[in-house]
Amino acid sequence: MGKSEVRNKIGILGGTFDPVHIGHLILADTARQALGLNKVLFIPALKPPHKNSLQLTSASLRTQMLEQAIAANPFFSFSKIEIEKKGISYSVETLWDLKKIHPRTNFYFIAGSDVLPKLNTWKQIDKIFRLCKFVIAVRPSFTQCSFYKKLYKKLIFLQGIYPDISSSLIRRLVRSNKSIMYLVPSSVSQFINQHSLYK
């Protein structure tokens, strides 16, 4: 292959997905279209370093919800790479493992702007920037500030209309016996009811 080779472009969207919601799906599809990605790979974490993994729904149930949520989109797929590896899920290690499996692929790591203040705490963040293109999803009202100035040249900012939804909000609504209609795919809502999750 020469310098003109066409590389595969894969987006990576990681998280606990406890549960997956429409905000995740909208973010993934916005990135896919804007960046010309061949597909977006959803990667559920087994034990995220910045969250209390003891309170997480089992990896099996979270993966089943995710699988059902993305089934209708041929550009979406998921990987159990972090779940099968066991231990704490560090993004730098996942990216390194993916690069070894797909050496001729360009990876685009997709995250929300809420991660910006925390990036300096991520394990080997400079290596992450070397392993992938780092994409930050921002709303039109987002403004850059000097605090992130050193990071800007390493980031791709992706503007879009992203609903203000979180997995913690979904869990609170379920615990309060309130509707989550339109906040999660119907298949996920049914799964939550069938398995009595978040009660």
**Other beta carbons less than 10 A from residue 30's beta carbon:** 18
The predicted model scores a pTM of 0.92
Please indicate whether residue 169 or residue 119 has the higher confidence score (pLDDT).
169
Superfamily of 8-164 according to CATH? HUPs (3.40.50.620)
The pLDDT of residue 147: 55
Beta pairing partners, 29:
none
CA separation for the pair 72, 83 (Å, rounded) = 23
126-157 pLDDT, tens digit per residue, is: 999 999 999 999 987 777 665 566 677 789 99
- Give the model's confidence band at 2: pLDDT under 50 very low, under 70 low, under 90 confident, else very high: very low
pLDDT one-digit tens code per residue, 98-116: 999 999 999 999 999 888 8
Ordered by start, the domain boundaries in the chain are 8-164
Angle in degrees, 0-180, between the axes of helices 59-70 and 186-194, rounded to the nearest 10:
150
- What pLDDT score does 162 carry? 92
